[in-house]
Structure 1
């Protein structure tokens, strides 16, 4: 593996780590404010309500 590939791999890992940290922070802020977290899997939208329940029904707080 070349030196550039190693640096690129380290840089990509650092960006992923920072992105994941930002997502976790945003999710926690949503929970504190009583807002659902929204996810998509295989083209289907899921809502994680502040109480932890996961549903496919759009919460009224987002309407």
Structure 2
């Protein structure tokens, strides 16, 4: 059976592990910021297909108009 090389650039495994840790920290930080903004009554911006929307603290979704 032929071995498939999923790492054509021969990047060491510890770099991938470190990347996973960095991404996890970023997600955790983003979640904390979103929760703090919600507590403070700050809308949460997000984008769908290039259109900016805001999730308001009361649960409404508002579209930003140009």
TM range (shorter): 0.7 to 0.9
- In structure 1, the gaps of 5 or more residues are 59-63
Gap regions ≥5 residues in structure 2: 1-6
1:13 maps onto 2:14 in alignment: no
Structure 2 residue 42 is the aligned partner of structure 1 residue 31: no
TM-score under structure 1 length normalisation = 0.74
Between 1 and 2, higher relative CO (CA 8 Å, sep ≥ 6) is seen in 1
Tell me the TM-score normalised to structure 2 length. Answer: 0.72
Question: Runs ≥4 in structure 1, deviation > 4 angstroms?
Answer: none
Pairwise CA RMSD: 1.9
Greater helix content: 1
**Structure ID, larger Rg:** 2
